[in-house]
Structure 1
Amino acid sequence: MFGIPGKSPVTITQAAERQIARLMSGKQAVGLRIGLKKGGCAGMEYTMELAQTADKADEVVEQGEARVLIAPMAQMFLFGTVIDYETGLLESGFKFRNPNVTDTCGCGESIRFEPLEGARAPGA
Protein backbone atom coordinates (compact mmCIF):
# COMPACT_ATOMS: atom_id res chain seq x y z
CA MET A 1 0.00 0.00 0.00
CA PHE A 2 1.09 3.52 -0.66
CA GLY A 3 0.92 4.78 2.88
CA ILE A 4 2.48 6.43 5.83
CA PRO A 5 3.68 4.06 8.55
CA GLY A 6 1.30 4.13 11.51
CA LYS A 7 -1.48 5.90 9.55
CA SER A 8 -4.51 4.13 8.15
CA PRO A 9 -4.77 4.42 4.34
CA VAL A 10 -8.51 5.18 4.63
CA THR A 11 -10.69 6.55 7.40
CA ILE A 12 -13.98 4.84 8.26
CA THR A 13 -16.65 6.94 9.96
CA GLN A 14 -18.72 5.43 12.78
CA ALA A 15 -21.78 5.28 10.53
CA ALA A 16 -19.81 3.37 7.86
CA GLU A 17 -18.28 1.10 10.52
CA ARG A 18 -21.75 0.12 11.77
CA GLN A 19 -23.06 -0.53 8.25
CA ILE A 20 -20.03 -2.55 7.17
CA ALA A 21 -20.20 -4.67 10.34
CA ARG A 22 -23.93 -5.24 9.80
CA LEU A 23 -23.39 -6.31 6.19
CA MET A 24 -20.50 -8.60 7.12
CA SER A 25 -22.41 -10.36 9.89
CA GLY A 26 -25.45 -10.89 7.67
CA LYS A 27 -23.36 -12.73 5.05
CA GLN A 28 -20.58 -14.16 7.25
CA ALA A 29 -18.10 -12.18 5.14
CA VAL A 30 -14.51 -11.41 6.13
CA GLY A 31 -14.80 -7.84 4.89
CA LEU A 32 -16.04 -5.31 2.37
CA ARG A 33 -13.68 -5.23 -0.63
CA ILE A 34 -13.39 -1.83 -2.30
CA GLY A 35 -11.87 -1.31 -5.72
CA LEU A 36 -12.08 0.67 -8.94
CA LYS A 37 -13.08 -0.20 -12.48
CA LYS A 38 -13.36 1.60 -15.78
CA GLY A 39 -16.81 3.02 -16.36
CA GLY A 40 -19.16 5.94 -16.13
CA CYS A 41 -18.92 9.26 -17.91
CA ALA A 42 -15.92 10.46 -15.83
CA GLY A 43 -13.95 7.26 -16.52
CA MET A 44 -13.80 5.28 -13.24
CA GLU A 45 -16.30 3.82 -10.76
CA TYR A 46 -15.92 2.48 -7.24
CA THR A 47 -16.68 -1.21 -6.73
CA MET A 48 -17.79 -2.84 -3.50
CA GLU A 49 -18.42 -6.48 -2.70
CA LEU A 50 -18.66 -8.58 0.41
CA ALA A 51 -15.62 -10.83 0.41
CA GLN A 52 -15.58 -14.40 1.71
CA THR A 53 -11.77 -14.44 1.76
CA ALA A 54 -9.03 -11.81 1.82
CA ASP A 55 -6.48 -11.85 -0.98
CA LYS A 56 -2.81 -11.69 0.01
CA ALA A 57 -2.40 -8.41 -1.88
CA ASP A 58 -5.42 -6.68 -0.27
CA GLU A 59 -4.71 -3.84 2.13
CA VAL A 60 -6.80 -4.60 5.23
CA VAL A 61 -8.22 -1.83 7.40
CA GLU A 62 -9.98 -2.94 10.59
CA GLN A 63 -12.08 -0.77 12.85
CA GLY A 64 -14.25 -2.30 15.54
CA GLU A 65 -16.21 -5.13 13.92
CA ALA A 66 -15.75 -3.65 10.43
CA ARG A 67 -13.09 -4.70 7.96
CA VAL A 68 -12.36 -3.03 4.62
CA LEU A 69 -10.23 -4.83 2.04
CA ILE A 70 -8.68 -2.52 -0.54
CA ALA A 71 -8.02 -4.21 -3.87
CA PRO A 72 -4.40 -3.92 -5.04
CA MET A 73 -5.06 -1.84 -8.18
CA ALA A 74 -7.08 0.71 -6.16
CA GLN A 75 -4.69 1.22 -3.26
CA MET A 76 -2.78 4.24 -4.55
CA PHE A 77 -6.00 5.94 -5.68
CA LEU A 78 -7.82 5.51 -2.35
CA PHE A 79 -5.11 6.73 0.03
CA GLY A 80 -6.56 9.45 2.26
CA THR A 81 -10.20 8.61 1.47
CA VAL A 82 -12.91 8.95 4.13
CA ILE A 83 -15.55 6.22 3.83
CA ASP A 84 -18.93 7.30 5.22
CA TYR A 85 -22.45 5.92 5.21
CA GLU A 86 -25.24 8.46 4.83
CA THR A 87 -28.96 7.90 5.31
CA GLY A 88 -31.36 10.27 3.57
CA LEU A 89 -35.04 10.53 2.71
CA LEU A 90 -34.59 9.34 -0.87
CA GLU A 91 -31.41 7.28 -0.75
CA SER A 92 -28.88 5.78 1.60
CA GLY A 93 -25.43 4.52 0.81
CA PHE A 94 -21.70 4.65 1.16
CA LYS A 95 -20.01 7.94 0.30
CA PHE A 96 -16.33 8.31 -0.54
CA ARG A 97 -14.57 11.59 0.19
CA ASN A 98 -11.45 11.00 -1.86
CA PRO A 99 -8.84 13.78 -2.03
CA ASN A 100 -7.29 12.15 -5.12
CA VAL A 101 -10.37 12.66 -7.32
CA THR A 102 -9.93 15.45 -9.85
CA ASP A 103 -13.39 15.33 -11.48
CA THR A 104 -16.79 13.69 -11.09
CA CYS A 105 -19.73 13.25 -13.42
CA GLY A 106 -22.96 15.14 -12.90
CA CYS A 107 -24.72 12.26 -11.16
CA GLY A 108 -21.73 11.65 -8.87
CA GLU A 109 -21.43 7.96 -9.76
CA SER A 110 -18.13 8.11 -11.63
CA ILE A 111 -14.82 9.79 -10.93
CA ARG A 112 -11.57 10.76 -12.59
CA PHE A 113 -7.98 10.84 -11.37
CA GLU A 114 -5.06 12.72 -12.86
CA PRO A 115 -2.84 10.13 -14.51
CA LEU A 116 0.39 9.44 -12.68
CA GLU A 117 3.40 9.65 -14.93
CA GLY A 118 4.28 6.15 -16.04
CA ALA A 119 1.32 4.56 -14.23
CA ARG A 120 -1.65 2.71 -15.67
CA ALA A 121 -5.19 3.37 -14.48
CA PRO A 122 -6.92 0.53 -12.61
CA GLY A 123 -8.31 -2.07 -14.98
CA ALA A 124 -6.20 -0.77 -17.88
Structure 2
Amino acid sequence: MSTESAESGSGSRMTVTESAAEEACRLMESEGMDTDVSGLRLFVQQGGCAGLSYGMRFEAEPEEDDAVVEQHGLRVFVDPASINYIGGSTLQFEGGLQGAGFHVENPNVVSECGCGESFRT
Protein backbone atom coordinates (compact mmCIF):
# COMPACT_ATOMS: atom_id res chain seq x y z
CA MET A 1 0.00 0.00 0.00
CA SER A 2 1.21 3.45 -0.86
CA THR A 3 1.59 6.00 1.91
CA GLU A 4 2.73 8.98 -0.09
CA SER A 5 0.93 11.62 -2.14
CA ALA A 6 0.28 10.65 -5.73
CA GLU A 7 0.61 12.85 -8.77
CA SER A 8 -2.56 13.68 -10.62
CA GLY A 9 -2.70 14.09 -14.37
CA SER A 10 -2.26 17.86 -14.06
CA GLY A 11 0.76 17.68 -11.78
CA SER A 12 -1.16 18.82 -8.68
CA ARG A 13 -0.91 16.58 -5.65
CA MET A 14 -3.73 15.05 -3.69
CA THR A 15 -3.45 13.09 -0.45
CA VAL A 16 -5.71 10.43 1.06
CA THR A 17 -5.43 9.78 4.79
CA GLU A 18 -5.15 6.22 5.99
CA SER A 19 -8.47 6.44 7.85
CA ALA A 20 -10.28 7.70 4.73
CA ALA A 21 -8.80 4.90 2.62
CA GLU A 22 -9.69 2.24 5.20
CA GLU A 23 -13.30 3.42 5.51
CA ALA A 24 -13.83 3.77 1.74
CA CYS A 25 -12.35 0.32 1.07
CA ARG A 26 -14.49 -1.18 3.83
CA LEU A 27 -17.63 0.35 2.30
CA MET A 28 -16.72 -0.78 -1.23
CA GLU A 29 -16.02 -4.33 -0.05
CA SER A 30 -19.37 -4.40 1.77
CA GLU A 31 -20.98 -3.63 -1.60
CA GLY A 32 -19.07 -6.46 -3.28
CA MET A 33 -16.72 -4.16 -5.21
CA ASP A 34 -13.16 -5.18 -6.12
CA THR A 35 -10.92 -2.52 -4.57
CA ASP A 36 -8.08 -3.41 -6.96
CA VAL A 37 -10.13 -2.03 -9.87
CA SER A 38 -12.96 0.01 -8.35
CA GLY A 39 -12.54 3.32 -6.63
CA LEU A 40 -14.03 6.40 -5.08
CA ARG A 41 -14.90 9.17 -7.55
CA LEU A 42 -14.32 12.63 -6.07
CA PHE A 43 -15.72 15.52 -8.10
CA VAL A 44 -16.69 19.18 -7.92
CA GLN A 45 -20.11 20.32 -9.09
CA GLN A 46 -22.04 23.58 -9.29
CA GLY A 47 -24.27 24.08 -6.28
CA GLY A 48 -24.62 25.32 -2.76
CA CYS A 49 -24.77 28.88 -1.56
CA ALA A 50 -21.04 29.46 -2.13
CA GLY A 51 -21.13 28.18 -5.73
CA LEU A 52 -19.36 24.78 -5.72
CA SER A 53 -19.75 21.55 -3.77
CA TYR A 54 -18.02 18.17 -3.58
CA GLY A 55 -19.55 14.94 -4.72
CA MET A 56 -18.43 11.36 -4.10
CA ARG A 57 -19.58 7.98 -5.32
CA PHE A 58 -18.12 4.53 -5.88
CA GLU A 59 -17.36 3.47 -9.45
CA ALA A 60 -16.32 0.16 -10.98
CA GLU A 61 -13.42 1.69 -12.94
CA PRO A 62 -11.97 5.09 -13.92
CA GLU A 63 -12.82 6.99 -17.09
CA GLU A 64 -10.06 7.22 -19.69
CA ASP A 65 -9.09 10.84 -18.89
CA ASP A 66 -9.35 10.58 -15.07
CA ALA A 67 -6.47 11.24 -12.73
CA VAL A 68 -6.15 8.13 -10.55
CA VAL A 69 -4.70 8.61 -7.07
CA GLU A 70 -3.76 5.39 -5.27
CA GLN A 71 -2.92 5.52 -1.57
CA HIS A 72 -3.34 3.11 1.34
CA GLY A 73 -5.09 0.61 -0.96
CA LEU A 74 -7.73 3.09 -2.19
CA ARG A 75 -8.08 4.31 -5.76
CA VAL A 76 -9.58 7.82 -6.12
CA PHE A 77 -10.81 8.89 -9.57
CA VAL A 78 -10.86 12.61 -10.40
CA ASP A 79 -12.03 14.06 -13.72
CA PRO A 80 -9.89 16.73 -15.45
CA ALA A 81 -12.23 19.64 -14.63
CA SER A 82 -12.45 18.74 -10.94
CA ILE A 83 -8.70 18.32 -10.44
CA ASN A 84 -8.32 22.04 -11.14
CA TYR A 85 -10.36 22.74 -7.99
CA ILE A 86 -9.09 20.00 -5.69
CA GLY A 87 -5.40 19.68 -6.54
CA GLY A 88 -3.42 19.85 -3.31
CA SER A 89 -6.39 18.66 -1.21
CA THR A 90 -6.48 15.97 1.44
CA LEU A 91 -9.35 13.50 1.64
CA GLN A 92 -10.06 12.68 5.29
CA PHE A 93 -12.54 10.56 7.22
CA GLU A 94 -13.77 12.05 10.47
CA GLY A 95 -15.83 10.32 13.12
CA GLY A 96 -17.40 11.64 16.26
CA LEU A 97 -20.53 12.40 18.20
CA GLN A 98 -21.80 14.84 15.57
CA GLY A 99 -21.60 12.15 12.89
CA ALA A 100 -18.98 10.56 10.74
CA GLY A 101 -18.12 11.28 7.15
CA PHE A 102 -15.59 12.11 4.49
CA HIS A 103 -14.16 15.62 4.37
CA VAL A 104 -12.00 17.39 1.78
CA GLU A 105 -9.38 19.72 3.24
CA ASN A 106 -8.81 22.03 0.26
CA PRO A 107 -6.10 24.73 0.29
CA ASN A 108 -7.66 26.33 -2.83
CA VAL A 109 -10.83 27.40 -1.01
CA VAL A 110 -11.12 31.15 -0.41
CA SER A 111 -14.55 31.03 1.26
CA GLU A 112 -17.14 28.52 2.43
CA CYS A 113 -20.81 28.83 3.22
CA GLY A 114 -21.87 28.87 6.87
CA CYS A 115 -22.80 25.19 6.92
CA GLY A 116 -19.54 24.12 5.24
CA GLU A 117 -21.28 22.24 2.42
CA SER A 118 -20.15 24.48 -0.43
CA PHE A 119 -17.12 26.59 -1.30
CA ARG A 120 -15.55 29.11 -3.66
CA THR A 121 -12.00 29.11 -5.04
TM-score range, shorter chain: 0.7 to 0.9
Aligned identity (percent) is: 39
**Cα offset for 1:23?**
1.9
Contact 2:18 2:72 in 1 (8 A): no
> Is residue 2:92 matched to residue 1:84?
yes
Using the size of structure 2 for normalisation, the TM-score is: 0.84
> 1 CA distance for matches of 2:66 and 2:24?
17
Q: Deviations over 1:67-119 (max 9, x none)?
A: 11112210111111011100010211111110101110000000001xxxxxx
> 2 CA distance for matches of 1:63 and 1:24?
15
> Is residue 2:106 matched to residue 1:98?
yes
Alignment partner of 1:25 out of 29, 32, 48: 29
> Is residue 2:75 matched to residue 1:67?
yes
Structure 1 portions without partners, runs of 5+: 114-124
Match of 1:116 in 2: none
> 1 CA distance for matches of 2:81 and 2:106?
16
> Is residue 2:62 matched to residue 1:54?
yes
Contact 1:20 1:67 in 2 (8 A): no
Using the size of structure 1 for normalisation, the TM-score is: 0.83
> 2 CA distance for matches of 1:69 and 1:62?
9
Tell me the matched-pair count: 109
Runs of 4+, deviation exceeding 3 Å? none
> 2 CA distance for matches of 1:20 and 1:59?
18
> Is residue 2:97 matched to residue 1:108?
no
When the two chains are superposed, the root-mean-square deviation of aligned CA atoms in Å is 1.2
